Each structure stands twice: as structure tokens, then as C-alpha cells.
Amino acid sequence: MFLSADELSARAAGIPVAIVGAGPAGMSLAMRLAERGVDSLLIEAGGREPVPDADAFRGSVGERPYPLMASRMHGLGGSTGHWGGWCRPLDPVDFEPIEGVPLTGWPISRDEAYTHLARAHELLEIPDARYEGEDVLAAASATGIALPGQDDFGHAVFRFSPPTRFGLRYRSLVHESTRIHCALDCSLVSIDQAEGRTRLHLLDTAGRAITVRAGASVLAMGGIENPRMLLWSNRRHGLALGGAGDWIGRCFVDHFGRLSAEFLLPGVLDYGPRETAAGRLMAKLVPSAERVRRGDSPNHMIELVQSTQEHLLQPEFGQSGLLFGGRAEPRFRYGAVATAGQRPLRDSRILLDDTLDARGVPRARVDWRIDAADFQGVLDSLDLLGRHVAGQGLGRLRRREFHVPAPGEALATGMHHIGTTRMARDEREGVVDRDGRVFGTQDLYVAGSSVFPTSGYANPTLTLVALALRLAEHLADREARA
Amino acid sequence: MTGLDRRAFLRRAALASALAVALPACGPAAPDPLEQVSRTRLDALARGLVGFEAAPFADNEPLDGLRRRIAARLVAAGARGDALEAPLAELVLAEHAAGEVDVVQGWVLSKTEADLLRLSARLHAEAGTSPRLAEVAEESAPLGTFLSVANWGPRSTCERRGFNVQTDGHSSLWIEFEGPSPGRMVVVVGDERVPTSQAGQLLSTRIEADQVSRWFAAPGPVPLYVYSAQLRQRQKIGDFDVLAAGGFARREDGQLSTAFHEVTNWGPRQTAVGEPFNSPDGEASAFWVATRCAPPGARLRLGDRDLATTVGPDAVSGLLRGRSLLQAPARLPLVLFDPDSGESIPVGEFTVGDP
């Protein structure tokens, strides 16, 4: 049900779970809690329609440009109001500690993270959730580059949500639910602790202050807002939320993309969404897990897109079969877009800006940094792909933007805000524990991609919904025990 | 990497590495590699390379030095005399596999491949020729299949007559396709390209009035193609039919019409009193008149009633709404009328009641 301001005040105390943020994580969490018979208060700064918040989302950036306003939305459904629907679980190697690469590895196994993967697919309305299997991989690679006899590269499968707009799709469910109590147009302005319990200080659009004391509180505000609020609350109230490790806001990760290379290749390749016998899917070229495990490069994906650029070598060059192991046929131009999940870097971080938003909360400052080795690893991977392609007589590689970008150079980003309240075994390594509970607290949790310790190359929504469902189970069990 | 392919890859890499070690041994005491392979054949192979810009490969290195360097690698790879192709093909693959490469304008080429292109560029420069480049024009590109066509239209017109005429007077063909787009595409009508725009999975063309007059002047099929700039191939979409209009009809005054062609058939020619015919809804009645290439604004008129008229390339149809003209026995003239020219021609006499 949706609450009026007066109803919110009445619900402010005694609710088992308070969730701040009605994006995919917060709404998935509330819906699963309702299924488990647990009441929750779902607090959303925006209204029924997701829109960018021109005030709260403003901020500043460090040396590298970052589209701070481009992706975040306030309102029921949050950023699902404009997402593209690409879905894929993280790879097993994304959960593993990589020797020689700091800050890799999750404190939970992939199986634990994805205990509720099937339900996550249901919520995201993905009818076919198969990513592996002979028929699926055959369908995926049918229009991809064929590189037999090597195991440096393979094809990975993405599936598609319609994309589900959580606000539209689940609005009536929230409206009709007797367990979900949803307060719109109500912003969290700080968190404090009293007698070991968390208090959420809210401000509605009429300027009324409301304090919520719930059995458990969950921040599900997004990968920039979650650390911003924790950092601010620590400063405002002299707290040590997240423990003494100074990890809040650190290890900010996003997927970066570059059109770094081009290829001459035979045939019509298609790395876009396709209807296949194995359902709607999309394939990307990915490095082998072994290469990622060796630390050669961050996990990444390569998409080949058709290009009509005129170059030194033209399609007819492929008619010189002598240079292609005897395979004389035209070779066509493809751009190679590599998208990587950067490896965590402590100095890549969200900080508090010097300016305040209209509610008196310091705005966010994004200092996005990427290790040069991550760029180089991707370039090396493209070079390796070029060696396979040319060594098998298929085509040729052209190094296009083949340098490590300067720190001030703008990059294409996934606008996936990851890692800023990272999950860890203890407060020396992160902000939340394996259940998502903030270190130094008993009842404050975080949901969303900010808890991912690493990102892989896959889009985060499927994983963050799966983790929110896992958190719902934990909170429902906790409530049952209470 | 598994199986034979892995072994082949490693063998090639090992071959390239061995060559890299072997090359410095080609000193003054070693036999001249240019004596061991056919210089004529080597030059012919280089000249035969196509599809690259020569200028970036041109330099001032003495030709024989360049030939000798290539020959040395070929000899190490087992080439002798005229038998160069197979060792060369293997050598290029091996060098790529081993990372024995040169980078020219970003393109990663095997060392021998790059030298061969340099030799080709020099030989072409001396002969005043150039390596064959993108000679294939849109209208003569090889045929292939790269597009899944869902629908296209219009599919016919009359001689010299525009079709799907847009507000500024140009005619337009459209092609709807499914699946991936192979980059930029151009529609080719017969052997002439047409300005083509693409929006999503729809191609639309702009065919000017003078082009209509020239391209569709004579009856018969005109092949329609889509050319892919990416693939440098054409795909045939179908045949666009240009219809013969036939002879001109005679007006009521006995003169030949300049607007209408002969009516070869029409119907229905009668109905019972009060009975609609060819009725889509039980009330309206529909006539058809077989005549080709009627003016686009032509109207069918029954008695003094203009019918809702549709003009097609082969026929004109008219819809009589209501039954008022059918309430009593009558013989009503059916006429084709062209508001633009003011001409009309008799079609026939329609009978209500007994014939």
C-alpha cells in the first residue's frame, strides 16, 4: 500500500524492516519479505515515476570525467526506469581471489550469491534463464567468429529482461500489498544510532522530519547514494558505521568501454540481440577464466560491430588468399568494442563534496580511477585475439585506440555503480559482512551493486536482485527469530 | 587449445621462431637466397596482391634488398624455385601466430606479409599501376544473400508513371527487413543506385520524376537490388514490374483519350432491385473496371453519383454507398472521369432490375 505522510509517521516505529530506495534491489527485497509474511516500510525519495533528481544527483568529479547525472533516477522503480535489460550472472572467476590482484574475491561463493537466481529471473521477466549448455552456446556462437582449436576466448551468453520497469510492473502489487508500506517523496537525510539501534531521519517534501526505528534498516539507494549517506551520517553524528577500515565509498568500479581495435574478418557477424532456437540471447567474446585467473587482464567482453571505415586494407585484401592460408574471400571491417570490469582500486572512490543539496546533505564527488594495468590487459587481449585471427588465416587486426587513456580522458561507461560498500569477511576489508550488514551495526544493511566486491563484465541488475532476495531471506529469518 | 589445431598453431609459432634465429646466419658466406627462389615468381606474387593502399608501403629501400629479405625467409620455410605459394602461405600464418609482426597504420601484418606489400607497392610504382582497390561499384557488385527481407513495395507501376508519390513529387520504394543490418545499404534499381535512407529496419528511396521517366519507360521487369557497403555485395530483392498501359480509350465524342487506356472488362453489370452487390458490409456495393494505368485521381461515376474510387495499376474500383440508386429499375451509365484533364470515358451501362 502507498502511505500518506500521516500514515508514514504512524508506521515509523515498530516496522520490522525499513528499506530506503525503491529501485530493483529495494522493491525485490520488499516483495520477497511480503511473500515471507514480513512487513516492510519502503521509502522512496521520488514519486511514482522515475526521474533524474537535478538537485541531489549533482556533484563533482575527479580528474577523469564521469556522467554523474546520466544514469540515476529517483522514483518508484529507480534506475529500471531507463535500463536496457541486459542480464547475465557474474562468472565463477569473478568470485575468486586472483593471485597478485588485490581486493579480488568475494566472502560468499557464487552458489550462495545466486541461491535465488531463478526467482530473480522471474522478477526480471526473463523466460529462458539458460546461459550454458551445448544448444545455448551453439546458438550464441552461430553468428560469432569461429576460432576452433584455441581456449583463450569463448562466447558468453546474455539474456534480456523486456526490460522490466519495476515501478510500472510492480506498482499495483505494492498498492495491493498489505505487507509493503510504501512512502513516496520522502528522503533520507541521515542515519544515526541510539542504544545500538539504527534510526533513519527522513524529510518529506513538505519539510516534515520523521524518524524511523525499524527492526532492521536497509540502504538500497544505489552505488553512489549508499556510500554518500553512510559517509555523511558518520560525519554528521560522529559514528563509525562500516567499522574502522575506511572502506566506505572506496573501490568504486564501473564498466569501461573502448573501441580500441578493428578487424578484417570473413562473413556477416552479429553480436547483437537475436531470436534463436535457444531463445532470445546475445553473445559476446570473452577471455577464458584461466586467463583472468592468471591476472592477464580484468574480465571483459568483446563485441564486434560492423564498420564502414575506409582503411589501408580493404575487403578485397582478403582475396589475396596467399596471405590467409589459402582462404581467398573478402574480409569485412568490424570495430572491436571491449568492455571490462575494472579490478578494485582503493583510491577510486565516492567522497563527500563541499556543496550541499537542498536537504542539507553534502553532494557526492566521484573520483573514478582505473589501474593502467586494466587497460593494458584489455589491449593485450585484443592483440591475442588478433594473433588467433591472423594465425588461423581468418583476418587481420588493426590497433586503433591502442594506448592507455590518460587519467583525464573520458571513457564510455556502463554507468554501473559498484563496490562502494563492498562485502567482506571483516571490517579490515570492506563495509558490509556476508549478509550485507554494515560493520559496526546490528541492524543496518546495504542492498544493491555497491556491495559487490568485484564486477566482472556482466551488467549488475540480475545479480543485485538475486542478492536482494538473499538478503530478504536473511531478514525474514532474523525477524522470525526475534 | 586442443587437438591438431593447437599443434598446428605451436608448429607455426616454432617455425617463425626458428626463422627469426636462422635469418642472421644468412651472411656473405651463405648462398644468396635470391638465387634459390624465382625472382620472377616472387615479383608476380607481390604484384598479384590486391585491396590495399600502396603509398604507406612505398619506401626507398633497394628492391633487391627487399626481395632478398623475403626470399631468405621463404628459403628457410622450404621454398625453392617457383614453388613459393605453399611455403609463403604457411610462413605468414606462422609469423602471425608467433607475433613476428610489423604494424603499418595500426594494421598488424606478419613481417613477410608487410615486406611483400612493400615489394608490391614498389613494383606497381615502377610500372605506373596500382594494386586493385575497391573496383566494385554498387551496381555491379557480386550477388550474395545478407538481408532477410520481410516485405517491399510498391511492386509495379505503369510506363513512365510515378508510384508511392511523396508530397514533393518524388516516388519512393521501401524495403522492410528483419534481423541484423549489414551496415550502410543502397538500393540499386536496374543498374543505377538510388538515394537510400535507413530508419531502423526500413530502407526507403528517393526516385525523382525524371528517373521514373527514364527507368520505367518500357514495359517489363526491372530488377531491384540492395547493395551492402560493408559486404560489397548486392542482393536481389525482386523484380519491379512496369506495366504496359495498352491503347488509349475512346471518349464519348469518338476522339482518343489522353488520360485513359482501354477498358478491357468491368462488372458487375446488373443487380436486382434493392440488392447490393460485391458488398463488404451488406449496404455498400462495389464495381471493378479493368483498365491499366488510370490517372491517380480518376473517379468512377454511376449516373450522377461519384463513387469512392481506388485506382490501382491494373484496375479501378468504386464503392457505391447506400441503396438509393438501387430502389427502382434503372439503366445507369458508368463512367470514368479524370478531374485533372476533365476527360471522361464511358465504361458501360449498369442495370437495376431485369436486364
pLDDT tens digits for range B112-127: 999 999 999 999 988 8
Highest mean pLDDT, choosing among B24-28, B191-195, B340-344:
B340-344
Is B1 in Cβ contact with A152 (below 8 Å)? yes
Rounded mean pLDDT, A181-193: 96
Q: What's the confidence (pLDDT) of residue B58?
A: 86
What's the pLDDT score for residue B12?
62
pLDDT higher than threshold 50 for residue B25: no
Name the residue with cell 568504486.
Answer: A252
Mean pLDDT in residue range A278-294:
95
Pick B133 or A369 by higher pLDDT: A369
Q: B interface mutation test: which of A269, A288, A308, A316 has the most B CBs within 10 A?
A: A316
Q: Do residues B83 and B7 lie in contact, with contact meaning Cβ atoms separated by under 8 Å?
A: no
Candidate from A143, A268, A399 with C-beta closest to B106: A399
Decide if pLDDT at B2 tops 50. no
Does the pLDDT at position B19 exceed 80?
A: no
Question: Lowest-confidence range among A158-162, B103-107, B180-184, B286-290?
Answer: B180-184
Q: Do B5 and A387 touch (CB under 8 A)?
A: no
Task: Among A309-318, A321-330, A348-357, B253-262, name the most confident range.
Answer: A348-357
* Chain B residues lying within 8 Å of A325, measured CB to CB: 89-90, 92-93
Q: What is the ipTM of this complex?
A: 0.90
Q: Average of pLDDT values for A362-371?
A: 97
pLDDT in tens, A54-99: 788 889 999 999 998 888 889 999 999 989 999 999 999 999 999 9
Q: For position A199, what pLDDT does the model report?
A: 96
Among the residue ranges A38-47, B19-28, B274-283, the one predicted with the least confidence is B19-28
**Sequence-distant (≥ 6) Cβ neighbours of residue A139 within 8 angstroms:** A276, A277, A278, A279, A281
Contact B185, B228 (CB under 8 A): yes
CB of A152 less than 8 A from some CB of B: yes
For residue B26, the model assigns a pLDDT of 47
Q: What is the pLDDT of residue B182?
A: 78
Place of cell 611483400: B116
Confidence (pLDDT) at B3? 36
User: Does residue A473 register a pLDDT over 90?
Assistant: yes
Which chain B residue lies closest to A154 (C-alpha atoms)?
A: B1
pLDDT tops 90 at residue A433: yes
CB A278 within 8 A of CB A131: no
Q: Does A325 touch chain B (CB under 8 A)?
A: yes
Query: Is it the case that residue B348 has pLDDT exceeding 50?
Result: yes
pLDDT of residue A124: 98
Contact A392, A346 (CB under 8 A): no
Q: What is the maximum span of chain B, computed from C-alpha positions, in angstroms? A: 117
Q: Give the whole-angstrom CA distance, residue B260 versus residue B212.
A: 20
Maximum mean pLDDT: which of A85-89, B10-14, B190-194: A85-89
Percentage above 90 pLDDT, chain B: 46
Among all residues of chain A, which has the CA nearest to that of B116? A323
**Alpha-carbon distance A249 to nearest alpha carbon in chain B (angstroms):** 39
Q: What is the pLDDT of residues A195-211, one digit of tens each?
A: 999 999 999 988 999 99
Residues composing chain B: 355
Instruction: Please tell me the distance in Å from B158's CA to the nearest CA on chain A.
Output: 37
What is the mean predicted confidence (pLDDT) over A377-403? 95
Instruction: Please judge whether A391 and B96 are an interchain contact, meaning their C-beta atoms are less than 8 angstroms apart.
Output: yes
Could you give the residue ranges of the DSSP H alpha helices within B48-84? 63-76
Find chain A residues with C-beta within 8 A of B105's C-beta.
Answer: 311-312, 398
Average pLDDT of chain B is 86
Of A14-18, A347-351, B39-43, B271-275, the poorest mean pLDDT is in: B271-275
Comparison of pLDDT for A222 and B3, the residue scoring more:
A222
- What average pLDDT does this structure show over B315-343? 91
In a 13 Å sphere around the CA of B249, the CA atoms on its Cβ side amount to: 26
Which residues, including other chains, have CB under 8 Å from residue B112's CB and lie 6 or more apart?
A: B70, B73, B74, B88, B91, B92, B95
What pLDDT was estimated at residue B4?
37
Where residue B244 falls among pLDDT bands split at 50, 70, 90?
confident
* pLDDT score at B40: 95
Q: Do B5 and A148 touch (CB under 8 A)?
A: yes
* Residue contact A149–B3, C-beta within 8 A: yes
- Interface with A, mutate which of B6, B10, B92 (most A CBs under 10 A): B92
Using the predicted structure, report yes or no on whether residue B22 has a pLDDT greater than 80. no
Q: How far is CA B61 from the centre of its chain?
A: 44
pLDDT of residue A10: 85
In this structure, which amino acid lies at residue B139? E
CB contacts under 8 A, A 376-405 vs B, are 383, 386-387, 390-393, 396-400, 402
User: Is A322 close to B89, i.e. CB distance below 8 A?
Assistant: yes
Contacts of residue B4 in chain A, CB cutoff 8 Å?
A: 149
Locate A246 and state its grid cell: 575506511
Chain B environment of A311 (Cβ under 8 Å): 105, 107
Give the residues across from A159 on adjacent strands.
A87
The mean pLDDT value for A266-294 works out to: 92
A320 touches chain B (CB under 8 A): yes
Highest mean pLDDT, choosing among A8-17, A179-188, B241-250:
A179-188
Q: Which residues of B touch A322 (CB under 8 A)?
A: 45, 48-49, 85, 88-89, 92
Query: What percent of chain A clears pLDDT 70, i.e. is strictly above it?
Result: 99
- Alpha carbon of B190: minimum distance to chain A alpha carbons (Å): 24
Q: Is the dihedral of CA A321, A322, A323, A324 positive or negative?
A: positive
Q: For residue B76, report the phi and psi dihedrals to the nearest 5 degrees.
A: -60, -25
Residue A301 vs residue B186, higher pLDDT: A301
At residue B233 the predicted structure's pLDDT band, cuts being 50, 70 and 90, is confident
What are the pLDDT digits (tens) for A288-341?
Answer: 999 999 999 999 999 998 776 667 888 889 888 999 999 888 788 889 999 999
Mean pLDDT throughout A172-190?
96
Which pLDDT does position B256 carry in this prediction?
Answer: 87
What is the DSSP annotation of A251-288?
A: S-B-EEEEEEEEEEESS----S-EEETTEEEEEEEEE-
